[in-house]
Amino acid sequence: MPEGDSLHRAAQRLQVLVGEQVEVETPHPRAAVKGLAERLDGRRLDAVEAVGKNLLLRFEGGLVLRSHLRMNGRWRVEPRGTPRNGKPWLVLRGAEQEGVLWNGAVLELVGARGAPRLGPDILGDPPDFETMSARLRSESPEREIGDALLDQRLVSGIGNLWRAEALWEARVSPWGRLGEAADEDLHTVLEAAHRLMRSALTGPRPPRRVYRRAGRACPRCGGRIRSAPPGDNARTAYWCPECQK
Ligand SMILES: [Zn+2]
Protein backbone atom coordinates (compact mmCIF):
# COMPACT_ATOMS: atom_id res chain seq x y z
CA MET A 1 0.00 0.00 0.00
CA PRO A 2 1.43 3.40 -0.93
CA GLU A 3 2.52 5.31 2.15
CA GLY A 4 3.70 8.84 2.61
CA ASP A 5 7.26 8.03 1.62
CA SER A 6 6.28 6.58 -1.76
CA LEU A 7 4.20 9.70 -2.34
CA HIS A 8 7.26 11.82 -1.66
CA ARG A 9 9.29 9.74 -4.11
CA ALA A 10 6.60 10.16 -6.75
CA ALA A 11 6.60 13.91 -6.12
CA GLN A 12 10.37 13.97 -6.59
CA ARG A 13 10.24 12.06 -9.86
CA LEU A 14 7.50 14.33 -11.19
CA GLN A 15 9.66 17.42 -10.60
CA VAL A 16 11.13 16.88 -14.10
CA LEU A 17 7.79 18.13 -15.47
CA VAL A 18 7.55 21.24 -13.31
CA GLY A 19 7.75 24.40 -15.38
CA GLU A 20 6.55 22.69 -18.54
CA GLN A 21 3.31 23.20 -20.37
CA VAL A 22 1.94 19.68 -20.33
CA GLU A 23 -0.37 17.80 -22.62
CA VAL A 24 -2.98 16.12 -20.44
CA GLU A 25 -4.88 12.95 -21.28
CA THR A 26 -7.20 10.80 -19.20
CA PRO A 27 -7.39 7.48 -21.09
CA HIS A 28 -9.25 5.56 -18.37
CA PRO A 29 -13.03 6.00 -18.64
CA ARG A 30 -13.44 6.61 -14.90
CA ALA A 31 -10.96 9.47 -15.15
CA ALA A 32 -12.25 10.77 -18.48
CA VAL A 33 -15.68 11.55 -17.04
CA LYS A 34 -14.14 14.05 -14.63
CA GLY A 35 -13.40 16.54 -17.42
CA LEU A 36 -9.86 17.08 -16.18
CA ALA A 37 -8.07 16.91 -19.50
CA GLU A 38 -10.30 19.66 -20.90
CA ARG A 39 -9.40 21.96 -18.03
CA LEU A 40 -5.73 21.15 -17.61
CA ASP A 41 -4.40 20.43 -21.10
CA GLY A 42 -1.77 22.94 -22.19
CA ARG A 43 -1.34 24.54 -18.76
CA ARG A 44 2.02 24.92 -17.13
CA LEU A 45 2.65 22.58 -14.21
CA ASP A 46 3.85 24.91 -11.46
CA ALA A 47 4.54 22.54 -8.57
CA VAL A 48 4.16 18.99 -7.35
CA GLU A 49 4.13 18.27 -3.65
CA ALA A 50 3.24 15.40 -1.36
CA VAL A 51 0.97 16.38 1.52
CA GLY A 52 0.17 13.48 3.81
CA LYS A 53 -1.00 10.73 1.50
CA ASN A 54 -2.00 13.18 -1.19
CA LEU A 55 -0.09 14.41 -4.17
CA LEU A 56 -1.01 17.98 -5.07
CA LEU A 57 -0.23 19.10 -8.62
CA ARG A 58 -0.50 22.85 -9.02
CA PHE A 59 -1.18 24.21 -12.47
CA GLU A 60 -1.08 27.75 -13.74
CA GLY A 61 -4.30 29.62 -13.17
CA GLY A 62 -4.66 28.35 -9.62
CA LEU A 63 -5.91 24.88 -10.53
CA VAL A 64 -4.86 22.21 -8.08
CA LEU A 65 -5.22 18.53 -8.86
CA ARG A 66 -5.30 16.16 -5.91
CA SER A 67 -4.27 12.55 -6.37
CA HIS A 68 -4.72 10.03 -3.57
CA LEU A 69 -3.45 6.56 -4.42
CA ARG A 70 -5.50 4.45 -1.98
CA MET A 71 -4.42 0.79 -2.32
CA ASN A 72 -3.27 0.32 -5.90
CA GLY A 73 -2.46 3.71 -7.39
CA ARG A 74 1.02 4.26 -8.86
CA TRP A 75 2.78 7.21 -10.44
CA ARG A 76 5.50 6.54 -13.01
CA VAL A 77 7.74 8.86 -14.97
CA GLU A 78 8.78 7.53 -18.37
CA PRO A 79 10.31 8.90 -21.56
CA ARG A 80 7.71 10.58 -23.75
CA GLY A 81 5.96 8.11 -26.03
CA THR A 82 6.82 4.94 -24.08
CA PRO A 83 4.44 2.25 -25.38
CA ARG A 84 2.07 0.85 -22.77
CA ASN A 85 -0.71 -1.68 -22.38
CA GLY A 86 -3.91 -0.68 -20.64
CA LYS A 87 -5.45 2.65 -19.83
CA PRO A 88 -3.80 4.86 -17.22
CA TRP A 89 -5.93 7.38 -15.36
CA LEU A 90 -3.80 10.34 -16.26
CA VAL A 91 -0.91 11.17 -18.57
CA LEU A 92 1.00 14.45 -18.14
CA ARG A 93 3.17 14.75 -21.23
CA GLY A 94 6.12 17.10 -21.27
CA ALA A 95 8.69 17.67 -24.02
CA GLU A 96 10.80 14.66 -23.05
CA GLN A 97 9.16 12.88 -20.14
CA GLU A 98 5.68 11.93 -19.18
CA GLY A 99 4.12 11.31 -15.79
CA VAL A 100 1.63 8.46 -15.79
CA LEU A 101 -0.90 7.65 -13.08
CA TRP A 102 -2.20 4.07 -12.95
CA ASN A 103 -5.26 3.08 -10.91
CA GLY A 104 -6.05 6.59 -9.83
CA ALA A 105 -8.51 6.03 -6.97
CA VAL A 106 -8.96 9.71 -6.14
CA LEU A 107 -8.29 12.36 -8.74
CA GLU A 108 -10.00 15.71 -8.52
CA LEU A 109 -9.57 19.44 -8.79
CA VAL A 110 -9.59 21.20 -5.45
CA GLY A 111 -9.68 24.90 -4.69
CA ALA A 112 -9.97 25.54 -8.39
CA ARG A 113 -10.65 29.00 -9.71
CA GLY A 114 -14.24 28.99 -10.83
CA ALA A 115 -15.20 26.51 -8.14
CA PRO A 116 -18.01 27.66 -5.88
CA ARG A 117 -16.80 30.11 -3.25
CA LEU A 118 -18.47 28.17 -0.51
CA GLY A 119 -17.53 24.68 0.52
CA PRO A 120 -20.20 21.98 0.49
CA ASP A 121 -23.00 22.51 2.98
CA ILE A 122 -22.57 20.49 6.15
CA LEU A 123 -26.36 20.08 6.19
CA GLY A 124 -26.43 18.77 2.63
CA ASP A 125 -28.62 15.75 2.07
CA PRO A 126 -26.53 13.77 1.55
CA PRO A 127 -23.55 15.84 2.64
CA ASP A 128 -20.58 15.83 0.25
CA PHE A 129 -17.97 14.66 2.76
CA GLU A 130 -15.51 13.77 0.02
CA THR A 131 -15.29 17.31 -1.31
CA MET A 132 -15.14 18.75 2.21
CA SER A 133 -12.23 16.44 3.04
CA ALA A 134 -10.50 17.32 -0.22
CA ARG A 135 -10.78 21.02 0.54
CA LEU A 136 -9.44 20.54 4.04
CA ARG A 137 -6.57 18.56 2.52
CA SER A 138 -5.82 21.35 0.05
CA GLU A 139 -5.04 23.71 2.94
CA SER A 140 -1.65 24.14 4.55
CA PRO A 141 -0.80 21.06 6.64
CA GLU A 142 0.19 23.49 9.40
CA ARG A 143 -3.32 24.86 9.74
CA GLU A 144 -5.23 23.97 12.89
CA ILE A 145 -8.27 21.76 12.41
CA GLY A 146 -10.51 23.94 14.56
CA ASP A 147 -9.61 27.01 12.54
CA ALA A 148 -10.17 25.24 9.21
CA LEU A 149 -13.64 24.03 10.25
CA LEU A 150 -14.83 27.64 10.47
CA ASP A 151 -13.50 28.49 7.00
CA GLN A 152 -16.63 28.59 4.86
CA ARG A 153 -14.64 28.06 1.66
CA LEU A 154 -13.83 24.56 2.89
CA VAL A 155 -17.05 23.51 4.59
CA SER A 156 -20.02 25.81 4.86
CA GLY A 157 -22.39 25.97 7.75
CA ILE A 158 -20.35 25.01 10.79
CA GLY A 159 -20.36 27.69 13.48
CA ASN A 160 -18.60 27.91 16.78
CA LEU A 161 -21.08 25.88 18.82
CA TRP A 162 -21.19 22.90 16.48
CA ARG A 163 -17.48 23.06 15.81
CA ALA A 164 -16.85 22.56 19.54
CA GLU A 165 -19.44 19.82 19.89
CA ALA A 166 -18.39 17.92 16.75
CA LEU A 167 -14.71 17.95 17.71
CA TRP A 168 -15.63 16.68 21.18
CA GLU A 169 -17.79 13.89 19.69
CA ALA A 170 -14.92 12.85 17.44
CA ARG A 171 -12.32 13.15 20.24
CA VAL A 172 -10.26 15.46 18.05
CA SER A 173 -8.47 18.51 19.44
CA PRO A 174 -9.20 21.85 17.77
CA TRP A 175 -5.46 22.55 17.97
CA GLY A 176 -4.36 19.51 15.96
CA ARG A 177 -2.71 20.21 12.60
CA LEU A 178 -4.45 19.21 9.38
CA GLY A 179 -1.25 17.56 8.20
CA GLU A 180 -1.22 15.28 11.20
CA ALA A 181 -4.90 14.34 11.15
CA ALA A 182 -5.91 10.95 9.77
CA ASP A 183 -8.52 10.94 7.01
CA GLU A 184 -10.82 8.99 9.34
CA ASP A 185 -10.55 11.66 12.04
CA LEU A 186 -11.53 14.44 9.65
CA HIS A 187 -14.40 12.34 8.39
CA THR A 188 -15.57 11.59 11.92
CA VAL A 189 -15.59 15.30 12.80
CA LEU A 190 -17.56 16.21 9.66
CA GLU A 191 -19.97 13.34 10.18
CA ALA A 192 -20.54 14.37 13.82
CA ALA A 193 -21.16 17.99 12.80
CA HIS A 194 -23.67 16.86 10.20
CA ARG A 195 -25.47 14.50 12.58
CA LEU A 196 -25.65 16.97 15.47
CA MET A 197 -26.80 19.85 13.29
CA ARG A 198 -29.39 17.69 11.51
CA SER A 199 -30.87 16.56 14.78
CA ALA A 200 -30.92 20.15 16.05
CA LEU A 201 -32.83 21.09 12.89
CA THR A 202 -35.43 18.40 13.18
CA GLY A 203 -35.89 18.02 16.91
CA PRO A 204 -34.77 19.28 20.30
CA ARG A 205 -31.24 20.68 20.29
CA PRO A 206 -28.76 18.02 21.45
CA PRO A 207 -27.21 18.70 24.88
CA ARG A 208 -24.03 20.75 24.92
CA ARG A 209 -20.99 18.82 26.09
CA VAL A 210 -18.24 21.44 25.97
CA TYR A 211 -19.52 24.65 24.39
CA ARG A 212 -19.40 27.47 26.96
CA ARG A 213 -18.70 24.94 29.70
CA ALA A 214 -15.09 25.93 30.44
CA GLY A 215 -14.05 24.86 33.93
CA ARG A 216 -16.71 22.18 34.23
CA ALA A 217 -16.23 18.44 34.04
CA CYS A 218 -16.11 16.66 30.69
CA PRO A 219 -19.20 14.39 30.55
CA ARG A 220 -17.08 11.64 29.00
CA CYS A 221 -13.90 11.51 31.03
CA GLY A 222 -14.34 13.96 33.91
CA GLY A 223 -11.44 16.11 32.69
CA ARG A 224 -11.67 19.87 33.04
CA ILE A 225 -13.05 21.60 29.96
CA ARG A 226 -10.96 24.50 28.73
CA SER A 227 -11.53 27.49 26.49
CA ALA A 228 -9.12 29.61 24.48
CA PRO A 229 -8.47 32.34 23.69
CA PRO A 230 -9.84 33.95 26.90
CA GLY A 231 -13.39 35.30 26.84
CA ASP A 232 -16.40 34.10 24.90
CA ASN A 233 -16.36 35.24 21.32
CA ALA A 234 -17.30 33.86 17.95
CA ARG A 235 -14.06 31.91 17.60
CA THR A 236 -13.41 30.76 21.16
CA ALA A 237 -12.62 27.05 21.22
CA TYR A 238 -13.97 24.78 23.97
CA TRP A 239 -12.42 21.36 24.42
CA CYS A 240 -11.39 18.67 26.85
CA PRO A 241 -7.60 18.31 26.83
CA GLU A 242 -7.94 14.86 28.43
CA CYS A 243 -9.93 13.05 25.78
CA GLN A 244 -9.50 15.21 22.64
CA LYS A 245 -6.09 14.56 21.17
ZN1 LIG B 1 -12.90 14.47 28.30
The per-residue pLDDT for range 88-137, each reduced to its tens digit, is 999 999 999 999 999 977 888 876 443 445 688 888 889 999 999 999 99
Q: How far is the CA of 177 from the centre of ligand 1 (A)?
A: 20
Secondary structure string (H, E, C) spanning the chain: CCCHHHHHHHHHHHHHHCCCECEEECCCHHHHCCCHHHHHCCCEEEEEEEECCEEEEEECCCEEEEEECCCCCEEEEEECCCCCCCCCCEEEECCCEEEEEECCCEEEEECCCCCCCCCCECCCCCCCHHHHHHHHHCCCCCCEHHHHHCCCCCCECCCHHHHHHHHHHHCCCCCCEHHHCCHHHHHHHHHHHHHHHHHHHHCCCCCCCCCCCCCCECCCCCCECEEECCCCCCCCEEECCCCCC
pTM of the predicted protein model? 0.55
Q: How far is the CA of 225 from the centre of ligand 1 (A)?
A: 7
Q: How far is the CA of 210 from the centre of ligand 1 (A)?
A: 9
Residues having C-beta closer than 5 Å to ion ligand 1: 218, 220-221, 223, 240, 242-243
Q: How far is the CA of 156 from the centre of ligand 1 (A)?
A: 27
Domains along the chain with CATH numbers: 4-110 (3.20.190.10), 129-209 (1.10.8.50)
The per-residue pLDDT for range 181-220, each reduced to its tens digit, is 999 999 999 999 999 988 887 878 889 999 999 999 999 9
Q: How far is the CA of 34 from the centre of ligand 1 (A)?
A: 43
